[in-house]
Structure formats: structure tokens, C-alpha cells
Structure 1
Amino acid sequence: MILFRLGFLLCALVSAIVSLPARAEQARQVDLVPVLCHAVTPLGSAPPPPSAYRCSGEPQGYQEASLWLRTDVARLGFADGDAALLVHQSRFDRMAVAFTYGDGHVRRYAVARGAYGDYWRVGGQLAFAAPAGAATLASVTIRIDRFSVYGLLRARLLDRDGAAQETAAASALVGGALTLLLLAALYNLLLAIAMRRAYLVWQGGWALCMVLWGLLWSQIALLVAPQVAGTLASQICSLLACVAVFTATMAALFSITAAPRWLRLLLGALTTLVLLLGFPLAFARGGPLALVDALLDPLVLLNLFLVVVLVTIGWRRGQGEARDFAIAWTLPIIALTVIHIFDFGALLGGGSQIAILIASALQTVVIAIAATVRLARIRWERDSARAAERMLIDLANRDPLTGLLNRRGFAQGFATLRQASATPISLLLIDVDHFKSINDGFGHDVGDEVLRRLATRLDDDGQSRHLAGRLGGEEFVIALPATGPSELRRFAEEMRRSCSAMDVADLLGQRCLTVSIGMAPGDRDTDFETLYRVADQALYSAKAGGRNRVAG
């Protein structure tokens, strides 16, 4: 059922991805960052005059001040208004946006850390609308207090219809990806319990990290925890990203054991360093944040490279888990590598984050299928081994000629029948009269066929409650619940007549087949060996009395 849901969600996710290019072409949008002019003022001061803005280089000294960003909209093709400003959320204390129209009218918005109101959008963005008015839209001004890193800013101007379509597409992609990741996390943890494999625990932990990271980065978590908006969510996301790299690497280390020990130790130390750097990355601001981020990028790339080496060695040495891991993690590793080299800032406003989220979601389907196939193979091997074991046990307890229970199997069956029955168990010992003369006169092949037919008659005599076996030679035994000697004798006589009535003319011609039967009525405490001795004495009496009779 979980795999079916994963497949359904995968189809929906792929459909949404395929439709992205058409939606992107329809939307009119402009990247504002290259055309923004900037100014820096102390916190709480008045807006700077137009002459204070600089339109080249990057702003300095803004981390503990107010950063002002401004651009003229008329030259960007949005003079008619009816636009939307989309800003990717990052670490700041407060953000204010002002749309200025040609007639002097100003439309203002403001958000603060932990208070985004209704301005947040799925995909980690803030949206501010500039509705069309009587006058043309002249400029956009953004003020950001205590902004962490200007280089992380992403701001775009779109027409409002395009912004709405982009938000809907981002919601579908992010929602589908997070659902896939959550189902995969639960599925992997259940598989870890069923298969007792540590690497599946790490795989499930990675998926859970990605779910938490995706909920915070996309801002869906603000539905239930609006107070984490902004800096706190960004800090937790930074830490979770490093935890995700760590858990994914540990999944590889625990699943691929064929690699050299030095490589496993090196990779374990490196991924632990990545995890530890996640803490200063989460809580640093300004220059230290950029420094840690610059240090972390090459370490993550080196970590990914060593994982590829680990998987390659494991695959070349014939380890099945390495093949599954390589197939499943190809897309996320490629995505992680590419986003550390190229800029994905225009992808639904989510940039590299939405790319890695989609890649991770697709990976979960592959790893779930691979783990399921491996589990199915293990179950098939286990079931085959159990079936073979049952067959061997059955062969050890069966007479190869007649298929009835042999002495060992009958003794075990007798004990089981005695425990299950509410009445005493009695025993009939049956011996074919003059069987040696049949072997001598007609041959052993005929004698064997006589024994097989007699076994069929004893086992299929309509008495589903009795247990039949062959103890050896021409000696057979039946155990059955009986209330007393008279009932047992009546059954024994019916069995004797039934055997005598068998049609064996094709084997013995005019000769009749008869049997002698010895009875041993039982009680609740009598075991098989004791009853057998009593029945054997009774059978001896039947033979001595002329055969073809019941004694006991």
C-alpha cells in the first residue's frame, strides 16, 4: 500500500515538473538583485535621500544597521503596476517594502522575525503585491534591519498572475516531495525493524531530516508554528542540512562494508566535521556565516566524492547494497554537486533548495523499491529454506514406499494426538498374513504394490480421526480415539473386512489377501511403546489362532 502511494505521488510530482517550463515562459519576471541600488543607515533612522544610494558594488556594514535597497520599476517593464515582489526569506530582524507610484501614492508592507503574517508563500518566499492604480508604478524600496548576508538575497518582480501560478506550482511540488519523503521515512523505519538493518535506520533518519528541513524551508511549518518565521527557521534549516548530509553518509557507511577500513574511517571523520560545522553555520551572523558557508561547501563536495568512491568500490566487489545505493542516490548526489557549482536562483524562487528537495523525493521512491525487492528476495530465500526444512523433516518421518508415517513419525504423531484428544487413544497393530509367500511366489515388485494399496486403504478408510503408519515390513499400525474395548473391536473388525475386500486380482490372481490385527485399548496415561507391546502380544495371539482375525 505504501509503495502504491509512493508511485502515485511520484507520477503527480513528475507531471508537475514537466509542466514547469510552460509556466515559466508565461510569467513575466525580473531579477531585481542586479539592478538594486543600496544604502546603509543606523537602525531606526529616517530613509536616506536618493543621493545616498550606490548602484555598484556590495553594501558594507549592514549587519547591525538598516539596509536600504531601491530600484526604478518603469525601466523594468512594470510601470503599469499589477505586480508582485517575491523575496526569498533569510536571516533578518525586520523587512519593510514600499511601492511608490507616479502620483506620490505609496503602498507599504512590513514583516518581522517571527511575524510574517499573510505574506509568506510556500517555497520559502515573502510576497508583496503592487496592485495597478491610476498612476504608474515608479519604484520599489526595501528596508532590511540586521540582515545577515547580502549575497544570499533573492528578489524578483513578477506580474501577479505569474506569481500566483508560481506559488501554486511550488506548493504542488513541495507538498508532493514532502509527502514522498515522509512516507519513505516511515517505510524505511518499518523495513529497518523487519530486516534488522542499521543502514535503513540511517536512511529513515535522513528522510525525516529532509521532511523537517523542507517544512521549515518552504515555510509550511508556519501554519502551526508562525513564531519560527525568519531567522529561527533559517538557523534550524542550516543545522538540519548538515544533519541530513551526516545521516545520508552514515547510511552509506553502514550499508557498504566491502570498502577499505581507512576509507570508511576517513569518510566517517569528514561527515562528522560537516555535522559539527552545522552548529556555527546555524547560529552565526554576518561575516562568520559567510566564512563557515565558504568552508562547508568544499567539505560537502569532498564528502560526496568519497561517498561515490565508497559506493564504486562496494559495487566492484559485488556488494548488492552498493548497487542499490548507487542507483538510488545518483540523482541527489548529482543535484548536490550541481547546486554547489551553479546558481539555481530562478527555480520557482526556491533556488537550489527546491532542486535538492525534488531530487531527494525521487530518490526515496528508488530506495523504497530497492529495499522492497531485497526484502522480497530475503523472504523468498527464507521461505524456500523453511519449505526445504519441512520437506526434509517430512521425509525423515515418512516411509518411502507407502508414504505413511514411519515408526519415528508415528510416535511423534501419537504423542500429538494423545494431547489433543479428550478420550483415550487405542492402538491397532496390523500384519499381512503369509506376506513372505507373496514375495516368494509373485516377486518383490508385486509385494511392494500390495503394501502400497494396503497403505492407501488404511489411510483413506473414511476415519479422519485416526492416524496410520508403517512400522516396517508388512506391519502397519493405527492409532485412534476410542471409548472402550467394544468400540475398538468393532472398528478393528471393519478394518479387517475392508482389507480382505481389496481387489488385488490383477496382482495375486485367485489368491485372497487377509490381515491379522492385534488390539491395545489405551487410557490417558499410556504411551506409545507400552501400547505397542500390548498390541504386539495380541497380534501374536491372532496369528496363533489361525490368522485373518482380531485379537486383544
Structure 2
Amino acid sequence: MHGIFGITAVFARRGLLLLASLLFCALAISSTANARVTLDIGANACVFPDHKDLSLAGAMARAAGGDCPGGLSTGEMRDAWLIKSGLDLRQKPGEPLSVHLKQTLFEEVTLYVRYADGTVWTMRHDAASAASHTELGGMFRLRIPWRAGTIETIALHARKVVDPRGAFVRPAVETPQVEAIETERQSLIYGLFGGVIFATLFFNLVLLVWLRYAFLFFYCGMTAATLLYGLAASGIMMRMLPAGLPPMLGNVAAEAVLPVMLWFAVVFTITLLERGTVHMRLAITGIMLATLQVGAGVIALITLFQAPERLHVPLAVVNILGAVTMALIFPMAIIAWRRGSRIILIYTAAWAVPLAGAFARILVALGFMETSAFIEDSYFYAMCLECVLSMIGIAYRISNIRAERDEARAREIELTYLAETDALTGLLNRRAFIEYGIRRSGKGKLKSRLLLIDIDHFKTVNDGFGHEFGDRVLREAARLIESVSPAGAVVGRLGGEEFALIVPHSERDDTAGTILRAFRATPMTDGVRITVSIGSASGIIADDRTWRQVYRRADTALYEAKRTGRDRHVAAAGPEPSVATAA
């Protein structure tokens, strides 16, 4: 555990420094995105809904008349036009221009390029061509082939729009040079996002296999859902899937994956926080709301294929439930902090930026604010930041668990020691001695020798010198027996002045003689010399029954040693014990 925690801490610290550097670079590049656009055709363009299925000529006539009300109403299923006239664009041979547009929720869009001589070139972006037109970043690009002449008007006609942001988000005309720069920028953003998320997922999967903590499982689920969201929102999924699928599949899939990520995030929060700091009613409410949101996301995917004209309904439900669920995190965090949670501050810092970005995207999706390049890309920066900060939180939580485990283990060892140890001598007590003796037999396969050791005339020591002096003698006798016992012997005090040893059976074993000689040669407290009597018996001590059998024979031998003069060892052999006095 200590090594795993060290690896986690090092990963989190180094990952944070690396991420800070990469985020700075990505944000610096993102902040200059608008400056690199060759021509923003959304600025001062005429945008209006189309209720009458207008032709290009009709749309241009309406635009020329100044009938340009602006964006679309939230949730309405309709067509829309964007007309940008008065242009003076000329292409160079080998450097074709392209129209770059954020993929939103519509079924198809047609690009019209009208030249000064009246020639009109068209290209359609629909289910048949979506995969080939989709670029990294959830954008699609329609390239205009080279043709001599001046481009006077660029028009976009979107059909069946259900996105409250409108059909035309960040429309621009780009040169090949700017296109290459934009591709590099998106590659950096998604490379950063994918690298951090994938590395974090892999590392936490390893930790999950080793540690099996519940919060690691839910964190891996959240990270995997985040990775899926990146695949859907980035346009990579559309490039991987076969042609013929709706162009807005990527956006709808991203909206459906977000609730899954939020569900794992809620449960991750509950399992990560310290026990007793989670407000269970809020937690259960959050899980229920997130579950309903997941269901709404699934319904949105089904609706995309079955009834796309009603797609705005489940998408609105997804976003409303998401906003309410995320709003619950703040009171949960406050309550956890007031209940003494130490990790909640790290967790709150990790989720503050992603929550702010997600809330902004929900407001955009509900039509309360306009989108921007920063809002569109901020989710990826925020989730990278969240992953690394959450890793620090996970490392901190593992540290707490380790401390709690070590404390519990220390208490367990202390309680075990108190339960098994004779308080006066520090040897095993009677119960623990018997248990260790049975355990030492190897499930009844090993033959052992039991030695019962009794201090001779100990009552005289107690009566003559007092019980406190007698206790000191018992402690010194215990240390002496333990010091001369062979390695692997089980040593205990059975009660009063009686001690016991269990040693491996051997015909040449002289443990009893060694103990007798040690007591004869070693004076106790204040020079008092004592001797001991020893009775022994051999047998297999496999359970309580066999212990009693061997003990009775050893006790009979001990009685015989005392009866025949003390300061000697008697070994039980067969039905009648034999007497042997140590030399």
C-alpha cells in the first residue's frame, strides 16, 4: 500500500505540472483562434428561418430586402438560411478556399457559392457525406474547388434545425494555410485531452485491480465516459462510423454520454468522501436525477432515428436534469465540509471549472446565451484539469484509508496481545498457549513434546518474602525459560507458578535438562535461588481432545517429579512414567 500510494502521489504531482504547461499552451492557441479566420461569414450576415422552402434566388431577394430577423427560436424544427453578400473573394490556383462550420443539430446543409458572372456552385453536407466532411473538433469543412472569377455571395441553407444555438455556429471561410493552423490547434486540444484522460483511466484501472476500492471503479467509469464524450464531440466518431448516418449523430451521442459521465461522477463523489460526511438524502436524489438523465439521453438517441422532429424534447430534458443534478453538488459539498470532510476542498476545486463549463453549455443548449469558441472547447481543458486534481484527491483519500487501516491494525494487534498475553510475565496465557500449540501441530501431522514446569516450594517464597517479591520471581523465571527455550518453541504460563513449553518431538531433545541447569545456575531477585520440577509427554496435539490427553500424561509426570524429590524431570512413557534426574 505504501508503494502504491507513493506512485499515486508522484503521478499526481508530475501530472499537475505537465498539465499546467499544456493547458497554458492550449489556452494560448485557443485565445487566438478568431484572429486566424480568413473571413467570418457570420458577421453582418443575413440569417433567417425559412418557412416556405425558398430557392437561392428567393433567399437572396429576401436578404436584399433587409428581412433578416436573426437566430432561431429554441426547440423549433425549421429550415434556415445564412446569406453573406457583397464579397470580393478570389481563389489562387492550388489554394482552394473552404467553408468551415461547427456541426450542430440539423439534418443537412447546402453550400451555395455565387460568382460575379452569375455562376452558382453547390455542395451538400448530409448523411451520405457527413463522414468525409467532418473534421477534428466537431467541425465540418466544405472545400470550394478552384475556379477563375470573383466570389460574390456565400449562402448556407440548413434543413430541419433543432439546435437552439441555431444552424450556423462559427461559420468562416479559410485558406489552406489557416486550415492547417486550425487543424494543428484542434490536434493539440484533443491530443491533450485524449492523452490525459487515457493515461488517467489506465492508471486508475491498475489501482482498481490492486486496491479494489469502490470509488476507483466509479472514477474509471466517469473517465471512460469522458473519453467517449470526447470521441463523440470531436467528430472522430463520425469519421469512424460508416456513411449514411445522420450528421448530428455525433452531437446527440455526446449529449447522451454526458449523463452517463454525470451519473458516475455523483456516485464517485458519494464513495470518495469520508464515511459520515455525505448527506444521504441529497446523494440518493442526485443518483435518481442522474439516472433519469441517462434515460433521457437514451431516448434522445432513439428519437434521432425514429422521430427527429421531436429531438428537442429529450435533449431539453437531458439538459434540465443535468443542471438540477449539478446544482445538488454545491449543498452536498457544503454539508460534507461542515461534517468534517477533509477531501471535499480538493474535490470542489477539481470540479469547479468543469461544472462552470458544463453549466455554460447547458445555458447555451437551452438558448439562454450564445456559444463561443472558448465555451465549445472549455470542456476539454476543464476535464483534463479535473482528472489531475481528482488524482490528487484520490491519492489523499488513499492516504487517509492507509492511515485508518494502520490505526485499526495497531488496535487489533494491541487487543490480540492483551487477549493472548499473561499480564504478569508477558508470556502466552493458557487459552492462547493451547491454541498456538494446536496450530503448531500442522493440522495433526507433527508430533510435539509438552513440558509442564512448576517452581519448587513457591509458596514458601511468597510467605517468606511477600507476594510482590513472588511476582518478580515469576517474571524472572518466565524470562529465563524463554531465553533457554529452542527456536520455534511455544512458551506460556498456565497459571500460578506453572509454566509450559511445546517443542518439536525428538528422542535427543534435552530442553528439560537445559531448563533445570539454567535455574540451578541463575539466582533470582536478591540472590534467591529456586529450582523447578518438569513433567513431559509426547503426542500429536491436533485439537482440544488430544491436548487434554497429552496434558494429563504430562501433569502425571510432573506430579511424579515432585513426589520423588523435585528439581528433576520426569518423562511420561507408555502407561507408566519413567523417572530421570538431570545430571
TM-score (norm 2): 0.74
Paired residue secondary structure (1:381)? helix
CA contact (8 A) 1:314 1:322 kept: yes
- State the partner residue of 1:345: 372
Match of 1:14 among 13, 20, 26: 20
Q: How many angstroms does 1:512 deviate by?
A: 4.3
- State the partner residue of 1:176: 192
Paired residue secondary structure (1:33)? coil
CA contact (8 A) 1:174 1:358 kept: no
Q: Give distance in 1, aligned partners of 2:270 and 2:533.
A: 72
Q: Deviations over 1:377-433 (max 9, x none)?
A: 234323422331232122222122322112111111111122357442121122233
Match of 2:247 among 230, 245, 259: 230
Is 1:28 aligned with 2:36? yes
Match of 2:421 among 391, 395, 398: 398
CA contact (8 A) 2:46 2:70 kept: no
Residues 246, 435 of structure 1: alpha-carbon distance in 2 compared, 3 angstrom cutoff: closer
Is 1:331 aligned with 2:353? yes
Match of 2:138 among 103, 119, 124: 124
- State the partner residue of 1:429: 452
Q: Give distance in 1, aligned partners of 2:242 and 2:254.
A: 15
Q: Give distance in 2, aligned partners of 1:345 and 1:76.
A: 28
Q: Give distance in 2, aligned partners of 1:159 and 1:7.
A: 42
Q: Deviations over 1:70-118 (max 9, x none)?
A: 4455489999977653211234455555777889999986643253455
Q: How many angstroms does 1:60 deviate by?
A: 8.9
CA contact (8 A) 2:12 2:392 kept: no
Q: Give distance in 1, aligned partners of 2:13 and 2:119.
A: 52
Q: Deviations over 1:473-503 (max 9, x none)?
A: 332211112144xx35x4322332233233x
| Further displaced range: 248-257 or 310-319 | 248-257
Is 1:415 aligned with 2:433? no
CA contact (8 A) 2:95 2:176 kept: no
Is 1:88 aligned with 2:102? yes
Match of 1:539 among 558, 562, 565: 558
Q: Deviations over 1:342-379 (max 9, x none)?
A: 544223xxxx3422233233223334433443344234
- Point out where structure 2 has 5 or more consecutive residues left out of the alignment: 1-6, 572-583
Q: Give distance in 1, aligned partners of 2:470 and 2:432.
A: 23
Q: How many angstroms does 1:216 deviate by?
A: 0.9
CA contact (8 A) 2:252 2:300 kept: yes
| Further displaced range: 268-277 or 16-25 | 268-277
Q: Give distance in 2, aligned partners of 1:166 and 1:324.
A: 35
Paired residue secondary structure (2:484)? coil
Q: How many angstroms does 1:162 deviate by?
A: 4.1
Q: Give distance in 1, aligned partners of 2:265 and 2:127.
A: 31
Q: How many angstroms does 1:334 deviate by?
A: 1.9
Letter in 2 for 1:123: G
Paired residue secondary structure (2:161)? coil
Residues 66, 413 of structure 1: alpha-carbon distance in 2 compared, 3 angstrom cutoff: closer
Paired residue secondary structure (1:454)? helix
Q: How many angstroms does 1:212 deviate by?
A: 2.0
Paired residue secondary structure (1:546)? coil
Letter in 1 for 2:173: L
Residues 457, 335 of structure 1: alpha-carbon distance in 2 compared, 3 angstrom cutoff: same
Match of 1:212 among 207, 217, 228: 228
Alignment of 1:380-395 (within 5 A): 380-395=403-418
Q: Give distance in 2, aligned partners of 1:453 and 1:318.
A: 50
CA contact (8 A) 2:136 2:235 kept: yes
CA contact (8 A) 2:71 2:166 kept: no
Q: Give distance in 2, aligned partners of 1:444 and 1:269.
A: 70
- State the partner residue of 1:493: 513
- State the partner residue of 1:57: 69
Residues 7, 446 of structure 1: alpha-carbon distance in 2 compared, 3 angstrom cutoff: same
- State the partner residue of 1:153: 168
Paired residue secondary structure (1:400)? coil
- State the partner residue of 2:154: 141
Residues 438, 297 of structure 1: alpha-carbon distance in 2 compared, 3 angstrom cutoff: closer
CA contact (8 A) 1:195 1:375 kept: no
CA contact (8 A) 1:2 1:183 kept: no
- State the partner residue of 1:115: 129
TM-score (norm 1): 0.77
- State the partner residue of 1:221: 237
Number of residue equivalences? 538
Q: How many percent identity over aligned positions?
A: 26
Q: Give distance in 2, aligned partners of 1:49 and 1:328.
A: 49
CA contact (8 A) 1:516 1:549 kept: yes
Residues 411, 114 of structure 1: alpha-carbon distance in 2 compared, 3 angstrom cutoff: farther
Match of 2:212 among 185, 194, 207: 194
CA contact (8 A) 2:438 2:541 kept: no
Paired residue secondary structure (1:401)? coil
CA contact (8 A) 2:107 2:246 kept: no
Residues 429, 181 of structure 1: alpha-carbon distance in 2 compared, 3 angstrom cutoff: same
- State the partner residue of 1:517: 534
Paired residue secondary structure (1:403)? coil
CA contact (8 A) 2:490 2:503 kept: yes
Q: Give distance in 2, aligned partners of 1:42 and 1:194.
A: 61
Q: Give distance in 2, aligned partners of 1:260 and 1:422.
A: 54
